[in-house]
Amino acid sequence: MWARAQQSLNGEQTGVDQRDDRAQSQRPTPPKNIKIGNLLWTVELVKHVPGAAEFYGLSGRTCGSRAKEQGFCKVNNRIYVEAGLPLNQERITLLHELQHGILGSEKSDRQATYHQFIYELSPKLLEVLQENPDLYVYLTAQEKGPSSQGKD
């Protein structure tokens, strides 16, 4: 899998979700789909994150079954990230939302020790990265062109 990700970094076609190879000067975009366990999640960059009005500073949302039941989202298995964030913040937000998808949003309210959290997350995060080499490419790609200076 990592070889496929490296091939993608080198500009070779891999068969992985390749966006429309926009102009070389544009910044990387997140993969459209990310597999978490046996579910395929869709990632969307949006102007307004669903439910953001209820939570100050919300720049992302994971829409699983619980968020749908609570009325925050209309669809299931969707990750929304606010468009227009600096690239590093966009990546951090996506990783934050991925952790909700990996662990399940119902665990967000549960008290856990720091070590328990890391113990549960580590193997699942590794699996997500192994199953989604295009995610690795997005997270590690450099912006190209003069517009990339000073954004992060």
Beta strands, E only, 1-152: 33-36, 39-46, 60-63, 78-82
**For each of the chain's 152 residues, which pLDDT tens digit applies?**
334 343 443 343 333 334 444 444 588 999 999 999 889 999 999 998 887 666 656 788 888 887 778 887 888 899 999 999 999 889 999 998 898 888 875 555 556 676 788 788 889 998 999 999 999 999 999 887 655 544 44
Question: Which amino acid, residue 1?
Answer: M
Residue recorded with tokens 């990632």: 43
Listed by start position, the domains of the chain span 28-142
Task: Walk across the sheet containing 39-46 and list its strands.
Answer: 33-36, 39-46, 78-82, 60-63
What are the structure tokens assigned to 16, written together? Answer: 């992985």
**Stated pTM of the model:** 0.67
- Comparing CA positions, the residue from 11, 10, 27, 17 lying closest to residue 134 is 17
